[in-house]
C-alpha cells in the first residue's frame, strides 16, 4: 500500500470519528468559549523561510487581529504522510480552520476531505491543493517567477553578446511533486524556447545535495559549454555554485534563484549567484492569517481571482539583483542590513549602498 492510499484510509477513519465530535459542536458551530484554534501546517525545515519567516509572520498577525485565537502549529519535514497525521491531530483538537502549505498538493487532498467532513475550511498556503473542497488559495504568481528568472539569464547573455550556438543552459527545476515547481518551470521554459538559447540538460529536485551532485556531473559532461545555470530556488543555486567551484570554475555563469534567502543574497553580493526572486512572505503570511480568521468566524474573505474555481489571491514576484537588494528586500523588512552585511560582505554592501 502506498503513502497516498494510507493517507486516504486514514482520512476516512478520521472523518467518522470527527463527525461524532462535530455533533457536539466541535466544528462549524461558532466560536469556542476558550477561543478559536487556528491550525498552521508548513511543509519542511530545509528551506529556512518557513520556520524563520512564514510562521513568525503568521503568528504575529494572528495575535494582532484575534487576541483570543490560539495557533496550533506543525512542520511536516517534507513527509506527506506525516503532514496528514498532523492535520488529523489538529482536527481532533478542534481547530476551526486549517492553513496548509502541502508537501504534496495531490496527497494533501485527503487533508481537505477530512476537514470538509467536519465543516472545517482549509486554506492552501503558497502551494495549491488538488481538491474541489478547498476554501481559499493564497500564493504567488509562480509562472511569473519562472519568467523573471529565465529572462534575467537571457538578458544577461544577450547583453554580453554570448552566441546561442556556443553552448546552453543547465536547468535545475523544483521537485516533480510540487505544483509550484511545475508552474515555475513552465514560465521559464516559455522564455528559453523563444530566446534561441537551448537547455543542455535538466533535473527536477528541491534537494541541494542531489542538485550539487547533478551539476558536478553536467560540468564534466559539458565543461565550457555551460552558459548559465537556471535554478528554481536559492538552495539549489548555492548547490550549483559549490559544484562549479569544486570543478575549478572561478567566474560563475549567471545563476538564478528564488526566496531571497540570506545565503542567496550574500552569494549575490559575493558575485557568485546572479539574481533571486522575492515574494513578500510577510504580506502572504499576514493575509493568510486574515483569511483564516474570517473563515473560522464563518465569514467570506474577499478574493482577487480564482484558480480552478477556488477563491484566490496571487501576489506578484520581483527580481532581485545586487543593486536593488536595499530597495526591495531590506525596504520590506525581510532582512536588516546587519544580517546581510556581515564582515565578508561589507565591501560589497558599501558598493551597493547597503551600509549607508
What pLDDT digit, counting tens, does each position of 322-352 carry? 999 999 999 999 999 999 999 999 999 999 9
Please, what sign has the CA dihedral across residues 191, 192, 196, 197?
positive
% of the chain at pLDDT higher than 90? 87
Beta-bridged to residue 73, according to DSSP, are: 40
Residues 87 and 159 in one domain: no
CA pseudo-torsion sign 346, 349, 353, 355 = negative
What pLDDT sits at residue 300?
Answer: 96
- Sign of torsion, CA 267 197 210 184? positive
**Comparing C-alpha atoms, which of 341, 333, 337, 354 is closest to residue 280?**
333
pLDDT in tens, 182-197: 999 999 999 999 999 9
Cα 264 from Cα 236, distance rounded (Å): 10
Q: Say if residues 7 and 81 touch (Cβ distance below 8 Å).
A: yes
Q: Is the pLDDT of residue 98 over 70?
A: yes
pLDDT in tens, 46-63: 888 899 999 999 999 999
| Cell numbers at 300, concatenated | 467570506
290 and 210 belong to one structural domain = no
Query: Per the domain annotation, does 309 fall within a domain?
Result: yes
Does residue 227 lie in a domain region?
Answer: yes
Question: CB-based contacts of 53: which residues, under 8 Å, 6+ apart?
Answer: 281, 282, 285, 334
> Residue 25's pLDDT is what?
36
> Is the domain of 200 the same as that of 106?
no
Please indicate, yes or no, if residue 12 is contained in any of the structural domains.
yes
CATH of the domain at 304: 3.40.50.2300
Could you say which of 278, 305, 323 is where a domain stops? Answer: 278
Residue 320 is assigned to a structural domain of this protein? no
Surface-to-core class of residue 20, CB atoms within 10 Å of its CB (0-12 exposed, 13-18 middle, 19+ buried): exposed
Q: Are residues 269 and 148 in the same domain?
A: yes
- Same domain flag for 125 and 180: no
Domain range for 85 is 3-134+280-315
Count of residues for the chain? 356
Same-domain check for residues 291 and 209: no
Q: Report the DSSP beta bridge partners of residue 173.
A: 204
Which triple of cell numbers denotes residue 27? Answer: 466544528
pLDDT score recorded for residue 307: 92
Across 205-212, average pLDDT? 96
Please report whether residue 179 resides in a domain. yes
In three-state form (DSSP H/G/I as H, E/B as E, the rest C), the secondary structure along the chain is CCHHHHHHHHHHHHHHHHHHHHHCCCCCCCCCCCCCEEEEEECCCCCCHHHHHHHHHHHHHHHHHCCCCEEEEEECCCCHHHHHHHHHHHHHCCCCEEEECCCCCCCCHHHHHHHHHCCCCEEEECCCCCCCCCCEEEEECHHHHHHHHHHHHHHHHHHCCCCHHHCEEEEEECCCCCHHHHHHHHHHHHHHHHHCCEEEEEEECCCHHHHHHHHHHHHHHHHHHEEEEEECCHHHHHHHHHHHHHCCCCCCCCECCCCCCHHHHHHHHCCCCCCEEECCHHHHHHHHHHHHHHHHCCCCCCCCEEECCEEEEEECCEEECCCCHHHHHHCCCCCCHHHHCCHHHHHHHHHCCCCC
What's the whole-number mean pLDDT along residues 59-77? 97
| Angle, alpha carbons 162-165-170 (nearest 5°) | 80
Q: Which residue has the higher pLDDT, 299 or 2?
A: 299
Angle between helices 80-92 and 109-117 (to 10 degrees): 10
Give just the sign of the alpha carbon dihedral 239, 244, 245, 251: negative
pLDDT for position 141: 94
User: Is 58 contained in some domain?
Assistant: yes
Q: Say if residue 99's pLDDT is above 60.
A: yes
Mean pLDDT of the region 161-181: 95
The answer as to whether 343 is a domain residue is: no
| CB neighbour list of residue 104: distance below 8 Å, 6 or more residues apart | 80, 177, 178
Query: Is 234 in contact with 260 (CB distance < 8 Å)?
Result: yes
CA distance 66 to 144: 33
Q: Are both 13 and 111 inside the same structural domain?
A: yes
Confidence of residue 34 (pLDDT cuts 50, 70, 90): low
In a domain, 33, yes or no: yes
* pLDDT recorded at residue 28: 38
Same domain, 49 and 83: yes
More confident residue, 28 or 108: 108
Query: What pLDDT, on the 0 to 100 scale, is given for residue 47?
Result: 83
The reply to whether 290 and 208 lie within a common domain is no
Rounded to 10°, the helix 55-65/281-296 angle is 40
Whether residues 274 and 287 share a domain: the answer is: no
Domain count for the chain: 2
Amino acid at each position: 500500500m502506498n503513502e497516498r492510499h494510507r493517507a486516504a484510509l486514514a482520512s476516512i477513519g478520521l472523518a467518522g470519528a470527527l463527525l461524532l465530535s462535530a455533533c457536539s459542536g466541535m466544528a462549524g458551530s461558532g466560536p469556542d468559549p476558550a477561543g478559536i484554534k487556528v491550525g498552521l501546517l508548513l511543509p519542511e525545515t530545509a528551506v529556512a523561510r518557513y520556520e524563520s519567516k512564514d510562521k513568525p509572520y503568521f503568528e504575529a498577525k494572528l495575535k494582532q487581529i484575534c487576541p483570543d485565537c490560539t495557533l496550533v502549529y506543525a512542520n511536516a519535514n517534507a513527509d506527506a504522510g506525516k503532514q496528514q497525521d498532523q492535520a488529523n491531530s489538529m482536527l481532533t483538537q478542534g481547530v476551526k480552520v486549517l492553513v496548509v502549505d502541502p508537501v504534496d498538493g495531490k496527497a494533501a487532498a485527503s487533508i481537505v476531505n477530512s476537514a470538509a467532513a467536519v465543516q472545517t475550511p482549509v486554506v492552501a498556503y503558497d502551494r495549491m491543493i488538488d481538491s474541489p473542497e478547498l476554501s481559499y488559495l493564497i500564493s504567488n504568481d509562480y509562472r511569473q517567477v519562472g519568467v523573471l528568472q529565465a529572462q534575467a539569464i537571457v538578458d544577461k547573455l544577450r547583453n554580453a553578446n554570448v552566441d546561442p550556438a556556443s553552448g546552453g543552459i543547465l536547468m535545475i527545476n523544483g521537485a516533480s511533486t510540487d505544483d509550484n515547481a511545475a508552474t515555475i518551470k513552465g514560465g521559464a521554459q516559455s522564455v528559453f524556447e523563444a530566446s534561441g538559447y537551448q537547455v543542455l540538460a535538466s533535473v527536477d529536485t528541491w534537494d541541494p545535495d542531489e542538485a550539487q551532485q547533478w551539476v558536478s556531473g553536467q560540468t564534466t559532461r559539458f565543461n565550457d559549454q555551460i552558459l548559465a545555470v537556471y535554478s528554481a530556488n536559492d538552495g539549489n543555486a548555492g548547490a550549483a555554485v559549490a559544484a562549479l567551484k569544486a570543478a575549478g570554475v572561478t567566474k560563475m555563469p549567471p545563476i538564478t534563484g528564488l526566496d531571497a534567502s540570506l545565503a542567496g543574497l550574500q552569494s549575490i553580493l559575493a558575485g557568485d549567484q546572479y539574481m533571486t526572486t522575492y515574494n513578500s512572505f510577510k504580506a502572504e503570511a499576514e493575509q493568510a492569517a486574515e483569511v483564516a480568521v474570517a473563515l473560522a468566524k464563518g465569514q467570506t474573505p474577499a478574493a482577487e481571482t480564482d484558480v480552478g474555481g477556488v477563491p484566490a489571491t496571487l501576489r506578484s514576484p520581483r527580481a532581485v539583483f545586487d543593486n536593488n537588494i536595499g530597495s526591495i528586500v531590506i525596504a520590506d523588512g525581510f532582512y536588516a542590513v546587519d544580517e546581510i552585511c556581515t564582515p565578508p560582505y561589507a565591501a560589497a554592501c558599501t558598493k551597493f549602498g547597503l551600509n549607508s
